[in-house]
Amino acid sequence: MVNVSPLAPKCFPKMPVIPGVSLAAGETKIKYKGRNDLMVAQFAPGTRVAGVYTRSLTSSAPVEWCRKILSSGQAEALVVNSGNANAFTGKAGIVSVERIVEVVASLIPCSTSKVFVASTGVIGESLPDKKLTATLPKLFKRLGENNWEEAANSILTTDTYPKGATRTADIGGTEVTINGIAKGSGMIAPDMATMLAFVFTDANIDPKSLQALLTDGANLSFNAITVDSDTSTSDSLMLFATGKAGNDKASPLDDFKEKLTEVLIDLACQVVRDGEGASKFIAVTISGADDDGAAKRIGLAIANSPLVKTAVAGEDPNWGRIVMAVGKAGEKANRDKLAIRIGGIAIAEGGQVISNYDESPVVEHMKGTNIDIFVDVGIAEGRATVWTCDLTHRYISINADYRS
């Protein structure tokens, strides 16, 4: 029985139908018993795709495949398995991917270059792809427009709950829908996007614009979260647009961009809230930096600091550790103008603790589950927010036992 994170949302959101998208999930028993561990999504012909993938130099075979076919900008299927990452598996891993996409392409039918894949789980173990290919025909017979929660559950590993988000947007007077699902709990750090996240829309958008929208959104969401500073070999974020809404391609995409970013931030923060062993969700906002990039790097230095994260876990408002993390970030910061607030309560201004500082309201804030840290570094106008969670004994237990 999985203990659901205390930071989890109350329920999985009600996800509307996305015209041109159907999903199914099934069980292969690659690693897990008694639960689904494989999902497939089929898309209407003409569906466009964008993707952002891990920058890890040891990226998985599925990531390499997706990078190879992404330039076509077209997709008709997505296959995702959990329990085995198919990473660091040599030529056998590549062959496994090829066998999987060939089976999917024959079932649709379509070109193999329109079949995207993703895997998550243990690194370095060969993928028993025959178990996947034997299950796929059954899944294609069970495809449905409403299987969002089933699909989201099938891609989990150490996660304690399925992650989903949905929004509607306006493009030139036409309403379009955006749905997203994600998985991630540990090995989360912003060197791309997240562990796995898949977003679907009926918007009619060309591949070049779709890619730009996704890249920008990733930088504000999945590239701004961290649980443990470790970047996965399998990180994949993909956006599929069926075009079924029929909106005018020439219409401005401002509202769509805003709502897409909201979905991405929602999913990214759910990943953090499900951080392995997490008991507190932390938002770190930096202002006054040299530029927005510098602000993000300072924020991540704080968010990745084990000393800061363990202090939050212990409900100790040890703001000196925040000062330390700012100093180690390698970005410009004016020590004599530094200002710090926790929970909106001023602690330091002008490079020193404020006079008559009363720690008691800060202590009360630290007892909550949502912790807000604000730092102004006194250089320029750069600003960014990043999200993380605390570091508890439970994190060690989960990862010490992961392969057992």
What does the pLDDT look like over 259-311, one tens digit per residue? 999 999 999 999 999 987 899 999 999 999 999 999 999 999 999 999 999 99
- pLDDT band, very low/low/confident/very high, at 199 (cuts 50, 70, 90): very high
Answer yes or no: is pLDDT of 188 > 50: no
Which has the closest alpha carbon to 301: 326, 280, 278? 326
Query: What does the pLDDT average to over 117-128?
Result: 93
- pLDDT band, very low/low/confident/very high, at 194 (cuts 50, 70, 90): very low
At 381 the pLDDT is: 98
Phi and psi at residue 217, to the nearest 5°: -65, -35
At 9 the pLDDT is: 95
Domain limits, the chain: 21-273, 281-400
Q: Which amino acid is at 264?
A: L
Query: What does the pLDDT average to over 235-258?
Result: 97
> What is the average pLDDT score of the chain?
93
Which has the closest alpha carbon to 199: 264, 246, 262? 264
Q: Which amino acid is at 74?
A: Q
- Percentage of the chain with pLDDT > 90? 86
Answer yes or no: is pLDDT of 192 > 50: no
Topology match between the domains 21-273 and 281-400? no
CATH class of 281-400: alpha beta
Q: Measure Cα distances from 332 to 289, 308, 335, 339 in Å.
A: 7, 20, 9, 14
Note whether 183 and 157 are within 8 A (CB).
yes
Q: Which CATH number fits domain 21-273: 3.60.70.12, 3.40.50.1000, 1.10.490.10, 3.20.20.150?
A: 3.60.70.12
- pLDDT band, very low/low/confident/very high, at 195 (cuts 50, 70, 90): confident
Instruction: Express each pLDDT in 51-107 by its tens digit.
Output: 999 878 888 999 999 999 999 999 999 999 999 999 999 999 999 999 999 999 999
CA distance 133 to 123: 20
135 is known as an active-site residue:
no
Answer yes or no: is pLDDT of 402 > 60: no
Which of 184-198, 332-346, 361-375 comes out lowest in average pLDDT? 184-198
Note whether 78 and 25 are within 8 A (CB).
no
CA distance 98 to 36: 22
At 312 the pLDDT is: 98
At 186 the pLDDT is: 55
Which of 120, 166, 177, 194 does the annotation list as catalytic?
194
At 16 the pLDDT is: 99
For residue 302, the SS3 value is: helix
Query: What does the pLDDT average to over 110-132?
Result: 95
Note whether 206 and 214 are within 8 A (CB).
no
CA distance 395 to 188: 13
Query: What does the pLDDT average to over 149-171?
Result: 96
Kindly report whether the peptide bond that precedes residue 137 is cis, defined as omega within 30 degrees of 0. Answer: no
Answer yes or no: is pLDDT of 187 > 70: no
